[in-house]
Amino acid sequence: MAVATTPLRVLIGKVGLDGHDRGVKLVVRALRDAGVEIIYTGLHQTPEQIVATAIQEDVQAIGLSIHSGAHNSLFPRVLQLLNEQGAGDVTLFGGGIIPDDDVPRLKAAGVQMLFRPATPMHDIVDFVKGLRVER
* pLDDT exceeds cutoff 50 at 89: yes
| Total domains in the fold of the chain | 1
Ordered strands of the 9-14 beta sheet: 37-40, 9-14, 61-66, 91-96, 113-115
Q: Is residue 2 part of a domain?
A: no
d(CA 79, CA 48): 11
**Which tens digit of pLDDT belongs to each residue from 46-77?**
999 999 999 999 999 999 999 999 999 999 99
Half-sphere exposure (CA, 13 Å, Cβ side) for 89?
9
Q: Is residue 83 part of a domain?
A: yes
Question: In whole angstroms, how far apart are CA 113 and each of 5, 61, 92, 101?
Answer: 24, 11, 8, 15
Backbone angles phi and psi of 51, in degrees to 5: -70, -40
Q: Is residue 3 part of a domain?
A: no
Q: Is residue 101 part of a domain?
A: yes
Q: Which of 9-13, 16-20, 24-28, 54-58 has the lowest mean pLDDT?
A: 16-20
Question: In whole angstroms, how far apart are CA 74 and each of 37, 88, 118?
Answer: 24, 16, 22
- Residue pair 33/26 in contact by the 8 Å Cβ criterion: no
d(CA 35, CA 116): 23
Q: Is residue 4 part of a domain?
A: no
Q: Is residue 135 part of a domain?
A: no
Q: Is residue 113 part of a domain?
A: yes
Output the pLDDT for position 3: 47
Q: Is residue 81 part of a domain?
A: yes
**Which tens digit of pLDDT belongs to each residue from 22-40?**
999 999 999 999 999 999 9
For residue 15, give its domain range. 9-129
CATH of the domain at 118: 3.40.50.280
